[in-house]
Amino acid sequence: MTKIGIIIGSTRPGRKAESVARWVHGIASQRTDAEFELVDLKDFNLPHLDEEVPASRGVYAHAHTQEWARTVDSFDGYIFVTPEYNHSTSGALKNAIDFVYNEWTNKAAGFVSYGGGAGGARAVEHLRLVVGELQIADVRAQVSLSLFTDFENFTVLTPSPMQEQQLGVMLDQVVAWSAALRSVREAAVPA
């Protein structure tokens, strides 16, 4: 069975990422074509990148990196839930992505973002560049939640039916691409 990690991409106190990720997980868990698991960056307590050897070498000195690598490696694809901070993603998510390399490659990813007027779209634009370098195939469909229209009083998530429909499209793409890339991963020679 294809396994997709829903990564909660913020560790900030009062974050909205957890409620957004739980909404994604609730809908995704109704599907029968893949398994979905929440992955909360807060649970890993990753410090600012502290590995001496570049991640592309796959040599991890610290236990926290090794645990994170095992978690990332256990999935066939990912859904990144990201806030938009200063026209980009959160520092915590970018830091977590940078810790490992080979564990990400030849997998698929989709994005669910949230933020002000653009619904976090600029954070996803930056993440698409980052995941491309990691050889993650990002799908076209994405969900962009606006703090103005998809949250009540900017705090309680109340997505419109259109957002749920768009999430379904994105999930279809992530599951299909994750399954299709399995043969690529099996045939790949480590970088």
pLDDT tens string 87-145: 999 999 999 999 999 999 999 999 999 999 799 999 999 999 999 999 999 999 999 99
Give me 150's structure tokens.
């998809």
Mean pLDDT of 40-50: 97
Confidence of residue 189 (pLDDT cuts 50, 70, 90): low
From the CB of residue 166, how many other CB atoms can be counted at a distance below 10 Å?
A: 18
pLDDT for the residue numbered 117: 78
Segment (H or E) for 123: helix 121-133
What percentage of the chain reaches a pLDDT higher than 90?
96
SS3 12: coil
Q: Do 138 and 92 form a contact (C-beta atoms < 8 A)?
A: no
Structural domains for the chain:
2-187 (3.40.50.360)
Ramachandran assignment for 79, one of left (phi > 0), alpha (psi -120 to 50 degrees), beta (any other): beta
Cα–Cα distance measured from residue 47 to residue 85, given in angstroms and rounded to the nearest whole number = 19
Q: Is the pLDDT of residue 163 over 90?
A: yes
pLDDT for the residue numbered 82: 98
